[in-house]
Amino acid sequence: MRGIDLSLHQGQTTTLLGANGAGKSSTLLALSGLLRASAGSIIFDGAELRNLPPHRIHARGLIQVPEGREILTTLTVRENLLLGAYRRQRRDEIAADLENTLMLFPRLGERLDSAAGNLSCGEQQMLAIARALMARPRLLLLDEPSMGLAPLLVQEILKTLRELNEQGLTIFLVEQNVHQALRVAHYAYVMESGQIVLSGPSSELLNNPKVIEAYLGA
Amino acid sequence: MLAQQLVNAISLGGVYALFALGFTLVFGVLNVVNLAHGAIFMLGAYAALQGVIHLRLSLLASAFFAMLVTGIVGWLLDRLIFAPLRARRAPHLAPMVATIGLAISLNSLVQGFFGAENLRFPVDALSAEALSLRGVQITWLELRIIFLAFVLMVALLWGLKKTRIGCALRGLAESPKAAALMGVDVDGLFRMTSVIAALLGGVAGVLIALYTNVKSSRPIWDGMMSQALRQGRTYHEQFSGSFGTAGPLRRNRSGERH
């Protein structure tokens, strides 16, 4: 990957689109510190994040919902959620956030003490997002939350993301589901073989013949 | 006679349990077969012995001294061996082979300094005084071993189940990537695990040394038990021997998967 220039704006949802292997996930992993970027810089709130270990980046409020959800299947739903708040100290605040999160995802509340591995795919994705919210993200990164989910569930998840954004959360969404992602996002980047080939406000891209041809079908 | 054997088995089993606890902790969390655990166990026994003889520490203090020594070795083990291998994403076999190297080095080092002959704690280091209950003899040491093994096991289980850091450890055991993305200091926890495992190994080493020390001074055990510290080494050799044969099996299995 080279020459990637992305900027995210506070309070907005930005999406990064592209086919398999375009380098979207690598971009996200580099942001979270799981992959070392060999050059360039990652500036968040005026501070350089490149070369910081993942937990330090997490502490800055850059929280990622990884591809494939990566929930901890042997732990209970509650333990997963509390682990999301691992770096936070105030127990009362964590408890309050747990309640708020469960209001957002009531289905998780019904299954708090069952093993997270027993959840359905959709529930697991909700758990992954809920877990990230427990960390009080300042920027939420999502890697293909729609992957492997039924269309209805995708809609539900994206609706939740829109709600979160309306509450002021800054979101960076990596997606292959171009149509849906463009509807949620304010601004979009399109990536191909490790490079940004196109960018612009979502509304423009939705009407851009190039995008329609390449990603949305004729 | 059966009751006596039961008492013996439980106290000896307690030591083995402590040993195994450290070994499984590293295996479970770091996903490494640590074949140097036996050598660390041996080192614990030697360190305690040196503490008693040369530093003139009390037995309890020398046990803590042994834990300090093995804890440092555990820290170094992760810092110098496991961490660099993790950083380059080495296959599972690499850290295992590295620990064999460490085990050989530690064994040779200790042998170079203290010789290969059997050593014992001074006779007065620990009394062989035994409680007798309906013909069943149990020494204070055995009681302490059983108590300590039980307490440490319960504490570890409780810690893993109920504390935040225990939860993070279990998460880490399942997926280091997920744990890292939740803000867990993965390298820090790996290191801590290695240290705790080495501490447990060290304590087990001290206990087995004392155990055989006291046991072999009893008439019934004379000539039956191999003496004191020797055992740490043999145990380690048996251990790496059995894993040596298991090694290729593991590799074949993972080979099929890829």
Quick: pLDDT tens for B121-130: 887 767 667 7
Confidence (pLDDT) at B214: 53
Could you tell me if B130 and B139 are in contact, meaning their C-beta atoms sit under 8 angstroms apart? yes
pLDDT in tens, A162-174: 999 999 999 999 9
Confidence (pLDDT) at B134: 81
Question: Does the beta-carbon distance from A55 to B175 stay under 8 Å?
Answer: no
Share of chain B above pLDDT 90, in %: 48
Selection from B198, B195, B207, B196 nearest residue B231 by Cα: B207
Mean pLDDT of the B161-184 span? 91
Confidence (pLDDT) at B251: 33
Confidence (pLDDT) at B227: 37
Can you spell out the DSSP letters for B18-42?
HHHHHHHHIIIII----TTHHHHHH
Give the range among A31-35, A95-99, A210-214, B211-215 with minimum mean pLDDT.
B211-215
Question: Does the beta-carbon distance from A34 to B177 stay under 8 Å?
Answer: yes
* Average pLDDT taken over every residue of chain A: 88
Asked whether the predicted pLDDT for residue B254 surpasses 70, the reply is no
Confidence (pLDDT) at B220: 32
Give the range among A10-24, A100-114, A159-173, B232-246 with minimum mean pLDDT.
B232-246
Selection from B203, B198, B201 nearest residue B148 by Cα: B203
Confidence (pLDDT) at A217: 55
**In the block, which residue shows the tokens 């012995």?**
B49
Q: With 0-12 CB in 10 A as exposed, 13-18 as middle and 19+ as buried, what is A30?
A: buried
Which chain B residues are closer than 8 Å to A131 by Cβ? 182
Phi-psi region of A196 (alpha: psi -120 to 50; beta: other; left: phi over 0): beta
Question: Does the beta-carbon distance from B181 to A71 stay under 8 Å?
Answer: no
Q: Give B132's strand partners.
A: B137
3-state secondary structure at position B138: strand
> Residue A26: which pLDDT band, with cuts at 50, 70 and 90?
confident
Share of chain A above pLDDT 90, in %: 39
* Average pLDDT taken over every residue of chain B: 81
Which chain A residues are closer than 8 Å to B185 by Cβ? 53, 55
Q: Give B136's strand partners.
A: B133
Could you tell me if B107 and B42 are in contact, meaning their C-beta atoms sit under 8 angstroms apart? yes
Which chain A residues are closer than 8 Å to B189 by Cβ? none
CA distance A9 to A6: 10
Confidence (pLDDT) at A162: 92
Using CB atoms, pick whichever of B170, B181, B184 lies closest to residue A70: B181
Using CB atoms, pick whichever of B164, B171, B181 lies closest to residue A66: B181
**In the block, which residue shows the tokens 């990566």?**
A70
Confidence (pLDDT) at A130: 94
pLDDT in tens, A116-133: 989 988 889 999 999 999
Q: Which residue has the higher pLDDT, B128 or A153?
A: A153
Confidence (pLDDT) at A9: 85
User: What's the gap in Å between the CA of B183 and the closest CA on chain A?
Assistant: 4
Supply the angle between the helices B2-25 and B140-162 in degrees, to the nearest 10.
40
Backbone angles phi and psi of A43, in degrees to 5: -105, 125
Mean pLDDT of the B151-174 span? 91
Q: Give A171's strand partners.
A: A13, A140
Question: Does the beta-carbon distance from B182 to A74 stay under 8 Å?
Answer: no
Confidence (pLDDT) at A88: 87
Q: Which residues contact A98 (CB under 8 A, 6 or more apart)?
A: A81, A82, A85, A134
Mean pLDDT of the B18-34 span? 92
Can you spell out the DSSP letters for chain A?
---------TT-EEEEEE-TTSSHHHHHHHHHTSS--SSS--EETTEE-TT--HHHHHHTTEEEE-TT----TTSBHHHHHHHHTTT---HHHHHHHHHHHHHHSHHHHHTTTSBGGGS-HHHHHHHHHHHHHTT--SEEEEE-TTTT--HHHHHHHHHHHHHHHHTT-EEEEEES-HHHHHHH-SEEEEEETTEEEEEEEHHHHHT-HHHIIIII--
Question: Does the beta-carbon distance from B181 to A72 stay under 8 Å?
Answer: no
Biggest CA-to-CA distance, chain A: 53
Asked whether the predicted pLDDT for residue B29 surpasses 50, the reply is yes
Mean pLDDT of the B72-95 span? 93
Q: Which residues contact A209 (CB under 8 A, 6 or more apart)?
A: none
User: What's the gap in Å between the CA of B164 and the closest CA on chain A?
Assistant: 7
Confidence (pLDDT) at B219: 34
Could you tell me if A170 and A8 are in contact, meaning their C-beta atoms sit under 8 angstroms apart? yes
CA distance A135 to A60: 10
Asked whether the predicted pLDDT for residue B247 surpasses 80, the reply is no
pLDDT in tens, B190-212: 999 999 999 999 999 999 888 87
Using CB atoms, pick whichever of B164, B178, B187 lies closest to residue A70: B178
A189 secondary structure, DSSP code: E
Selection from A163, A169, A162, A177 nearest residue A140 by Cα: A169
Tell me the residues of B at the A interface, defined by beta carbons under 8 Å apart. 164, 167-168, 170-171, 174-175, 177-187
Mean pLDDT of the B114-143 span? 80
Could you tell me if A122 and A153 are in contact, meaning their C-beta atoms sit under 8 angstroms apart? yes
User: What's the gap in Å between the CA of B246 and the closest CA on chain A?
Assistant: 27
Using CB atoms, pick whichever of A70, A73, A83 lies closest to residue B167: A83
Asked whether the predicted pLDDT for residue A1 surpasses 70, the reply is no
Could you tell me if A134 and A85 are in contact, meaning their C-beta atoms sit under 8 angstroms apart? yes
| Structural tokens at position A166 | 């309306």
pLDDT in tens, A48-92: 888 899 999 999 999 999 988 899 998 999 999 999 999 888 888
User: What's the gap in Å between the CA of A83 and the closest CA on chain B?
Assistant: 7
CA distance B238 to A189: 60
Biggest CA-to-CA distance, chain B: 60
Backbone angles phi and psi of A42, in degrees to 5: -125, 110
Q: Which residue has the higher pLDDT, A217 or A163?
A: A163
Asked whether the predicted pLDDT for residue B154 surpasses 50, the reply is yes
